[in-house]
Amino acid sequence: MFVSEEIENKEIAKQYKELLQISYQTLSNEDKKLIRSAFDTAVHAHRNQRRKSGEPYVIHPISVAKIVAQQIGLDATSIAAALLHDVVEDTEYSLEDLQKLFGKDVARIVEGLTKISKLSKENNASLQAENFRKLLLTLNDDIRVIIIKIADRLHNMQTLDAMAEYKQVKIASETLYIYAPLSHRIGLYNIKTELEDLSFKYTESARYELIKSKIEDSKEEQDHYIKSFSEIVQFALAEEGLDYQIKGRSKSIFSINNKMTKQNIPFENVFDKFAIRIIYKSTLKNEKFLAWKIYSIITDHFIPNPTRLRDWITSPKSNGYEALHITVMGPENKWVEVQIRSERMNEIAEKGYAAHHKYKHGDQKDIGLDSWLDKLQEVLENNTENPVDFVENFKLNLYAKEIFVFTPTGDIKSLPKGATALDFAFSIHTEIGMKTRGARVNGKLVPLSRALKSGENVEIITSENIKPTANWLDFVETARAKSKIKSSLNEEKKRIAEDGRETLRRKLKQLKITLNDKTISHMLRHFNLNNSLDLFYRVGLGTINNKQLKDFSSDFNSSFLNFFKKRMRKKNPVYKKDEKEQITEHFDSLVFGKENESLKHSLAPCCSPIPGDAVFGFITVNEGVKVHKKNCSNALSLQSNFAYRIIKAKWIDSSSDEFTAILKLSGIDNMGIVSEVTQSISNHMNVNIIKLSFDSEDGIFNGLIAVSVKNNTILNRLVNNLLKVKGVDKVLRE
């Protein structure tokens, strides 16, 4: 549809006015001039550009600036940088031009954003992961760079409909893989939730729409419940003279799906689909007192669950989050989470870093984010591990829940849940971690692998004679500790490799072979190694011995052609079909790509897809196409890091083939439960039991059943039937 230039210009002017109206800070005249100048420059720079949707390109930077101003609350410098974030990459403007027009701060932020944009164009997997590492490095240059990049990603996700389907999945997977966890870590909870839901919309669209419709259908019931809860407590709160408001907050579609998947329950059985939030006005001095006063009032009316109390006011999260969370038995005997926050706490929870610094005073403790950034910088700069492994390890620490432990001097240390005594040692100082000999928790010696719990007192015992060993990597959870241990092991490996190189040169000389690049290349192929460091290291350790070197000598001295043929035979062994493949090859029910081609493939053992499952193909290096379920635990990593090797796949016919699915059952051990379960399965058409095992302890049973089914529909019907068996509580598919 054609839109006139006049209408487009009116829309651009309207968007700009909205930007000024919603600006979080009270703008000074200088701020207004800066933003106006940045707006004019962006409009001029992008004057001939359009987005995939057809709208003028400048709408995108204005939208990003609105997110930066309204949802995050950054300053005028950040708003200007958001307006200009694409001009250096996409137009004739240079960084020098921006520095002259807007100053060093704006230019530096735009430079950081430009670097990230250039990085994201790489397709190679290890480069993609390395780019994530470089992206994280920009955090310490100026955290506003990554915050604006998150705003940029949010607007791109909001307008992703205009992109091709394969790009939608790639961008959505990348968003779930790194940008949502980063938003969580920086404290941008609202943006993190929106990024997760938007990503889920494109990675699992059918599941997304199903849950969304169920939430909409239950909205009236939810609003009624919040009203009935509020009516019970509002009189008591008002009687105490408190100035407050009560809000209901729905759990996100993404988090509801996570709960449904992990617990294998339907939507109706997710009981904490929403939380109630009490936001009160208070001076900084009275905040804590009033929070506990509200807690007391709530628990006078509703029975609390003591195991679900979360006090993040006394010990805020390391990203600055403060609140008191309690779970109480509400009306109609339903568990309800109640979040108690002051207005200041609520703003920090919603706007993260920017709001924290707005409220920060000289006598306050610094935000934990600052110390986390320092640790992050150290890990990034000293990291030597495989980039993909690094991003995986780092991502785990972004979402990790926190525990709080004490040093012998009474200082509090925040660590991710699951962190061990060895993680604690590295969190104090790298040198202490490297020299750790043992640990005492609450005065008792414990293994270094012992997971710590909140409130424990930890003392580290060191020794000058200790150095990290490979099994230490099994004892740690944090990216910092893993990075330091791997760095130490690599240094040791290099030292051994240097000795190994000299040993190899000497031994090859005795075999009349000169150690040079050609020889090393032949040896890497012969011993199936990746690089010369691995080769020299193995020689230094003695795992490549004299006999193996003599065997290599024979190969090396034979003709190159024979050597090549021999190596190719070793690398490409004769492929023998197993019985299962001989049976199923004529009934292939999967097709791939836009042309719906039949390709040789295998089913990934990590998720064991069956007909009816939503799937995709992954082109491996040595094993052809592997088929994974779209909700496979490895899907996100593959789609984000290796998007160029993903191929569309779908089932077209499953009438003649049968597949194995493994079900885990648990419940109350009634008399005859095994018989009832097997009867339920045998009564089911087209389902055969391949393997069955049950065990019972203290009145609770656990069962494992392997069944042969034709497709996902039959399997889902079977699971529903099993859940109807008296005593069966849960049925999970492995």
- Report residue 52 as tokens: 């995939």
**SS3 at position 187:** coil
Q: Based on the number of CB atoms within 10 Å of its own CB, is 167 exposed (0-12), middle (13-18) or buried (19 or more)?
A: middle
First to last CA, the chain: 49
* Catalytic option among 11, 55, 90, 122: 90
Q: Which residue in 147, 516, 547, 597 sits closest to 352, CA to CA?
A: 147
| Cα–Cα–Cα angle for 273, 278, 282, rounded to 5 degrees | 155
Question: What does the alpha-carbon distance between residue 710 and residue 613 come to, in Å, rounded to a whole number?
Answer: 12
Give every CB contact of residue 588 below 8 A, 6+ residues apart in sequence.
Answer: 598
Distance (Å) of CA 253 to CA 187, 636, 730: 20, 18, 22
- Of the CA atoms within 13 Å of residue 181, those in its CB half-sphere come to 19
Task: Yes or no: say if 732 and 264 are a contact pair by the CB < 8 Å rule.
Answer: yes
Note if 90 is an active site residue. yes
Exposed/middle/buried for 152, CB within 10 Å: 0-12, 13-18, 19+? Answer: buried
Q: How far apart are CA 234 and CA 240, in angstroms?
A: 10
Catalytic-labelled residue, pool 89, 122, 456, 492: 89
Q: Decide if 368 contacts 261 (C-beta within 8 A).
A: no
Instruction: Answer whether 711's CB lies under 8 Å from 611's CB.
Output: yes
Pairing mode of beta strands 402-406, 412-416: antiparallel
Neighbours of 693 (CB within 10 A): 10
**708-734: b (≥16 Cβ within 10 Å) or e:** ebbbbebbeebbebbbebebbeebeee
User: Does an H or E element contain 664, and which?
Assistant: strand 659-668
Could you tell me if 672 and 634 are in contact, meaning their C-beta atoms sit under 8 angstroms apart?
Answer: no
Distance in angstroms (rounded) separating the CA atoms of residues 337 and 210: 24
> Quick one: DSSP state of residue 510?
H
In angstroms, what CA-CA distances link 669 with 39, 71, 698? Answer: 69, 52, 9
How far is CA 163 from each of CA 156, 172, 516, 707, rounded to the nearest angstrom? 10, 11, 51, 41
Long-range Cβ contacts of 402-405 (<8 Å, 24+ apart): 402/317, 402/318, 403/452, 403/453, 403/454, 404/315, 404/454, 404/455, 405/452, 405/453, 405/454, 405/455, 405/456, 405/457, 405/458
Q: Output the six-digit token pair for 368.
A: 């934990």
Q: Which residues contact 381 (CB under 8 A, 6 or more apart)?
A: 137
H helix or E strand, kind and range, residue 176: none
Nearest of 214, 228, 198 to residue 266 by alpha carbon: 214
Please tell me the number of Cα atoms within 13 Å of 64 on its side-chain side.
Answer: 29
* Structure letter (DSSP) for residue 597: B
Active-site annotation, residues: 89-90
